């Protein structure tokens, strides 16, 4: 009785493998600056704002970029999506996002994160969510499970990749455009950073809102990171403002760096406001190079690259 579904499942899996194979065919898109010494590379996009349009729309835009990433000479260690993955956090939008990632993303790990659009979901004329936090977070947990294979008790989690720590923060409530961070999440972050000091490898923190837009919990979040200023190279990665590449895409306060990622799915302001852009990061023993990439255009935008020399720790990512 189960023969038909099983056969269908096998055929579907085969189809997926063909699609993935085709996605990777074609000329190499991205070659490392120094392949011999590169320890890890990963891609960072934000604000994909996957919409309800069933065919095409922003899902097609995402797929075009994923194909570009999949043709990199060295496989990407991770794909970060720094929030506002969807336009309204609807089931359909999550289904489209999940399908695109499952079919076309070949990064070692997918690290998706929620923004205000994802956690608020659909809203009334006053901007209030019509759905509960738990319901909206539930769709995120399902995406994590079915596309990234990540199963966690909390919306915040971390992964260590090639010795580098990737910490994904996430809102624990709905409060307008702000990030709601519990004391427990901030204490957890503090503990993870403290634990990272002896190895001294770079730490990448993903939070949709930049510090200036986090709201009430910004001060405590900044204080936690500042405790490790000079001890760790911390990269705080955010989207939200929809700023295109510009001279201030990456700023710093000591060894705490702030990486502002353009809006992938919507036109950005700034010098290079095209959709389909983000940073391709390359980690070396003593530096992290953020290379500005127009993924859907298939070109580098090198005038916005930034090389950060690692100042803290042992400067080695084993």
Which residue of this chain has its Cβ atom nearest to Fe ion in the complex?
84
CB of 25 to Fe ion, least distance (A): 32
Nearer to Fe ion, 96 or 165 (CB): 96
Nearer to Fe ion, 165 or 208 (CB): 208
Contacting range for Fe ion; rule: CB under 5 A; set: 80-88, 90-98, 130-138, 304-312: 80-88
Q: What is the distance, to the nearest Å, from the Cα of residue 228 to the centroid of all Cα atoms in its chain?
A: 23
Task: Tell me the per-residue interface mask from 277 to 306 with Fe ion, x by CB under 5 A, - otherwise.
Answer: ------------------------------
Please classify residue 236 by burial: count the beta carbons closer than 10 Å to its beta carbon, then call 0-12 exposed, 13-18 middle and 19+ buried: buried
Residue 299 host element (H or E) = strand 299-300
Window 202 to 231, contacts with Fe ion (CB under 5 A): none
CB of 83 to Fe ion, least distance (A): 7
The dihedral through the CA atoms of 282, 283, 285, 286 has a sign that is: positive
Nearer to Fe ion, 177 or 194 (CB): 177
CB of 157 to Fe ion, least distance (A): 22
List, in order, residues 6 or more apart from 270 with CB less than 8 Å away: 243, 244, 245, 246, 262
CB of 276 to Fe ion, least distance (A): 15
Nearer to Fe ion, 47 or 233 (CB): 47
CB of 238 to Fe ion, least distance (A): 11
Q: What DSSP assignment string belongs to 87-137?
A: SS--HHHHHHHHHHHHHH---SEEEEE--HHHHH-SB-TTS-BSS-HHHHH
Nearer to Fe ion, 136 or 196 (CB): 136
Q: Is 93 in the site for Fe ion (CB under 5 A)?
A: no
List, in order, residues 6 or more apart from 76 with CB less than 8 Å away: 41, 42, 43, 69, 106, 107, 108, 280
- Is beta strand 234-238 parallel, antiparallel or unpaired with respect to 203-206? parallel
Nearer to Fe ion, 272 or 300 (CB): 272
Beta bridge partners of residue 235, listed in sequence order: 204, 257
Task: Tell me the per-residue interface mask from 38 to 77 with Fe ion, x by CB under 5 A, - otherwise.
Answer: ---------x------------------------------
CB of 118 to Fe ion, least distance (A): 10
- Is beta strand 164-168 parallel, antiparallel or unpaired with respect to 157-161? antiparallel
> According to CB under 5 A, which one of 43, 51, 68, 84 is a site residue for Fe ion?
84
Counting residues that bind Fe ion (by CB under 5 A) gives: 2
CB of 49 to Fe ion, least distance (A): 6
CB of 204 to Fe ion, least distance (A): 20
Q: What is the distance, to the nearest Å, from the Cα of residue 12 to the centroid of all Cα atoms in its chain?
A: 28
Length of the chain: 318
Nearer to Fe ion, 88 or 315 (CB): 88
Joined together, the tokens standing for residue 54 give 């069933």
Joined together, the tokens standing for residue 68 give 């570009």
Nearer to Fe ion, 242 or 291 (CB): 242
Q: Which residues contribute to the site for Fe ion (CB under 5 A)?
A: 47, 84
């Amino acid at each position: 009785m189960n023969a038909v579904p099983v056969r269908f499942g096998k055929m579907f899996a085969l189809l997926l493998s063909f699609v993935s194979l085709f996605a990777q065919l074609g000329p190499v898109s991205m070659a490392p600056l120094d392949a011999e010494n590169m320890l890890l590379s990963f891609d960072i996009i934000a604000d994909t704002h996957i919409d309800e349009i069933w065919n095409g729309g922003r899902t097609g835009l995402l797929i075009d970029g994923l194909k570009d990433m999949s043709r990199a000479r060295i496989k990407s260690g991770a794909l970060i999506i720094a929030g506002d993955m969807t336009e309204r956090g609807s089931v359909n939008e999550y289904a489209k996002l999940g399908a695109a990632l499952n079919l076309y993303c070949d990064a070692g790990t997918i690290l998706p994160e929620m923004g205000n659009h994802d956690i608020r979901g659909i809203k009334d004329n006053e901007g209030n969510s019509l759905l509960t936090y738990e319901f909206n977070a539930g769709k995120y947990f399902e995406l994590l499970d079915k596309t990234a294979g990540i199963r966690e008790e909390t919306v915040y989690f971390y992964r260590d990749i090639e010795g580098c720590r990737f910490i994904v923060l996430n809102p624990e409530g709905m409060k307008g455009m702000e990030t709601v961070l519990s004391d427990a999440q901030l204490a957890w972050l503090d503990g993870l950073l403290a634990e990272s000091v002896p190895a001294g490898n770079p730490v990448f923190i993903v939070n949709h809102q930049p510090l200036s837009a986090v709201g009430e919990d910004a001060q405590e979040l900044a204080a936690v990171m500042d405790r490790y200023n000079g001890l760790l190279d911390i990269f705080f990665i955010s989207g939200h403002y929809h700023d295109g590449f510009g001279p201030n895409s990456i700023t710093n306060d000591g060894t705490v760096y702030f990486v502002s990622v353009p809006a992938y799915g919507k036109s950005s302001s700034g010098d290079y406001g095209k959709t389909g852009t983000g940073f391709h990061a390359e980690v070396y023993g003593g530096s992290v190079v953020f290379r500005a990439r127009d993924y859907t255009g298939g070109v580098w935008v090198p005038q916005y690259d930034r090389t950060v020399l690692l100042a803290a720790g042992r400067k080695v990512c084993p």
